[in-house]
Chains A and B, each alone.
Chain A
Amino acid sequence: MVLITELWPILTFLSPELASRIQFGWAITIHIIFASLSVGLAPFLVYFTVQEVRTGEQRYARLRAFWTKIFAVGFIMGTVTGIPMGFMFGTNFAAFSKTAGELIGGPLSFEAKMAFFLEAVFLGVLLFGRERVSDRFYAFSSFMVALGAWLSAFWILVVNSWMQTPRGYEIVMEEGVPIAELTDPLAAFFNPRFPWMYVHMQNAAVISVTLLIAGIAAYFVWKNRDSDVWKTALRVAVVVLFLTSMFQAVHGDMYGRHVAETQPHKFAAMEAHYETGAADLHIVAIPMDFEAITDPRADNLYTISIPHFASFLASGGDPNAEVIGLNDFEYDSPPVAWVFWSFRAMVGLGFWFIALGGWGTYRLWKGGIAHDDRLLKALMISSPLGFVALITGWYVAEIGRQPWIIQGVLKTSDGVSPPLTGTEATLTLIAFVVGYILLIGVFLHILRRIVNEEAQRHEVGIDEDDQIDSPGVPADD
């Protein structure tokens, strides 16, 4: 270790705290993509598998097989990126783990016992057991995999929401270290934030995957307007997109009010609201210079705002309600730029998804969805955007709660492992950055191959018994 420090002084540039925070943030940014892929895709797999078994139709078997391939790769990536997350509690945030161990160790072990085994065992059946089990059992296995993915998110969000709105504990000092002792498990697990977070997050995962399905389906339909298989996927996806994105907007608005009540500094950072008083809602914010990006304040932004509307939203109806400004908190503000711009990206994309879902559903209702080139292209371009919204939303939740690792109890700076050096943390950070960039590259490469393979099947017309494909040429109905 000494040797490394001498050779590369640059490695001591980051403090253990900063390197650990960036590492955790980066690791979860990548993990959350794959975790959400599992959570969001699982219900679709259940749907396709059940339809396949129920109707015996080839198109559902095709969709099931195609999305199972992507699910399998995503699941491996999710496992590979998920295992470090749990261990980072101990490696990088040992002081936090000691303080919060009683509260979060249990739920993490419940996640392993209830969810991970379920998912891994039945995924084995799903990937390798098509010929070994009955149709019904195969469909049942897809349901069990979905249940595993959703239970896993359940316990993780129990842990995370407890860190946002901790309940059911008492702080006792043991040898100078604060320990949160569990006093009321139900209050701790079902803390005020939990239902908000779980519903918002799971729905966000479904929206993200729905956009991915819609985008890929749009691509195949655009190449072959008569593809029964992919028109089915497109129809399902646009309707689900419309419903889930509408729901997300309504739910998100109520969630925001809850945040204003329980984490006022996060709410203030979301609107870059510095001075206590009535707060405006900035619908559009455009930075005029670099400083406005790194330090957004309403004064140095070009904004389109609704006066007093943030007060209205925060209080649930009073336009003159006082919203505490960032200047008036006793502790440091969260990094405002991250929260402010992430929040804008998330909400902006959310409205775009509603428009897209509405447009698609309207086309479906009026007919001609397969021939609306602009819609198909919009869907194709938007296919990764759900994940962007999801990640930025996660930044609002997580960066917005800084400087706290446990709201009001423990600061992030006090949660870092005491023996950790900046060099060690920076080394692993570099490894994670390089490794995960390669991982994402590999994943995208495989995704493209799976799509190309499917496109080739299209061209030679495999399984499309009733018609010969003519890719790229619009039919004339």
Chain B
Amino acid sequence: MTDMFSDTAYILDSLPELWFGLVVFSLGVYILLDGFDFGLGILYAEADESERVLMLAAFGPLWKANEVWLVLFGTVLFASFPAVYANILSRHYLLVFAIIFALSLRGLGSKLREERDDELWVTFWDGCFVAGSAFSPFLLGMFVASWILGEQSALAAGPMVVGLTVVALTVVLGSAFLGVKTRETLRDRVVKRGQLATGAYVLLFVTTAIVLFSQYPDIRADLLSKSTAMIVLVTLFFAIANIVTTLRERYHGSFLAASGLAATLVVFIATLLYPWIDPAAGLMINDAIVSPLPLNITSIFAVIFIPIIIGYFVFLYSLFSGPATSDQHYS
């Protein structure tokens, strides 16, 4: 084993770029998967009790596995770019703990509400669930934006507007997910919310572009590039596709279109960042990448385990496929 790794070179020359890709990929899968959990949690606010039970049945078996992608993103970043991990987390200290706090409220709320029947208890944890579901994507959006823009203050206009954009995206995702998982009046309502959220998302996306253009001169060239134009076009395409599919009651199609929106956003993030990995510290991918031996080892682990992880998800989602039913609860 040691011989194999005694070399001081990366197994592949492009390994640092591939790990940059993996960092972005795990963040993207997280935004997609937990995104529809957050959106579901926001839509939960206006649901009645029987709808809430149904929504939690759709959400229950999946969200913990979805949330692990955040941990994967964090540890993949740590393993490949440890200095960046240390920099961005310590730089946005209070924001990181606010995210953790919001995620905790979401996780505890959905589980603890069912531990007692009395109204006050259920209302309280439902409130935590909704608040956690709304604040998590907002704060996460702020965090990712501050990182990409090299912004020191998360309270600046850029991160704020990105946070709102991400919240709108999660509502699009959540309603598309519920479009597949529910029926009748609940579905009709969430789908309408999804259409509104899609419109809001497009507006916020454009607003974000304007804010970034005016406030961050460093990325103006990126914003005027062909790739940005493509991304805007693709975003518009998926947004229209999402609305059209819901009007035609093609809910799986709508879910695909919503996922396309999330993927496009992540690609946008990656194009703004590349080839930098920590703009605030002036670090490019090749400055910050970990040395060959540890990266080669983690690459081998990744090649083995990422397909297995994807296999878990195919299995989990097919096991719990089909519309959610209210009798589907903790055994």
Contact = CB atoms under 8 A, between A and B. Distances in A.
Interface residues of A, number: 71
B64 A110 contact: no
Interface in A77-134: 79-80, 83-84, 86-87, 89-92, 94-95, 97-98, 100-106, 108-114, 116-118, 120-121, 123-133
Interface residues of B, number: 63
A101 B86 contact: yes
Contacts of B67: 79, 120
Interface string B77-112: 011101101111111011011001101100110011
A477 to B, nearest CB: 35
Contacts of A100: 82
Given A127-B331, A186-B1, A428-B94, A90 B86 contact: yes
Contact of A109 (B86, B88, B301): B301
Interface centre among A89, A103, A109 (most CB of B within 10 A): A109
B184 interface: no
Interface stretch (B192-200, B228-236, B253-261, B312-320): B312-320
B305 A113 contact: yes
Contacts of B82: 97-98, 100-102, 105
Nearest to A96: B86
B110 to A, nearest CB: 9
Given A120-B65, A121-B313, A417-B90, A182 B328 contact: no
Interface of A: 65, 68-69, 72-73, 75-76, 79-80, 83-84, 86-87, 89-92, 94-95, 97-98, 100-106, 108-114, 116-118, 120-121, 123-133, 181-186, 417-420, 424-425, 427-428, 431, 435, 439, 442, 446, 449
B91 A114 contact: no
25 contacts: A72-B111, A73-B115, A80-B103, A80-B108, A89-B78, A89-B85, A90-B74, A90-B88, A91-B96, A94-B87, A98-B86, A103-B294, A110-B305, A112-B76, A116-B72, A121-B315, A124-B65, A125-B316, A126-B331, A127-B330, A129-B319, A129-B331, A130-B331, A185-B293, A428-B93
What is the predominant secondary structure among interface residues of chain A facing chain B?
Answer: helix
Given A109-B78, A114-B305, 15 more contacts: A79-B107, A84-B97, A86-B74, A87-B100, A91-B97, A94-B87, A101-B85, A106-B294, A109-B76, A123-B64, A124-B62, A124-B320, A128-B331, A129-B61, A186-B2
B109 to A, nearest CB: 10
A113 B307 CA distance: 10
Contacts of B298: 105-106, 109-110
Given A106-B298, A128-B329, A101 B78 contact: yes
A446 B115 contact: yes
Sort A-B residue pairs by CB-CB distance and give the 7 closest, nearest first: A101-B82, A90-B89, A94-B86, A105-B79, A417-B90, A109-B75, A94-B90
Interface of B: 1-2, 5, 60-62, 64-65, 67-68, 70-72, 74-76, 78-80, 82-83, 85-91, 93-94, 96-97, 100-101, 103-104, 107-108, 111-112, 115-116, 290-291, 293-294, 297-298, 301-302, 305-306, 309, 312-313, 315-316, 319-320, 328-331
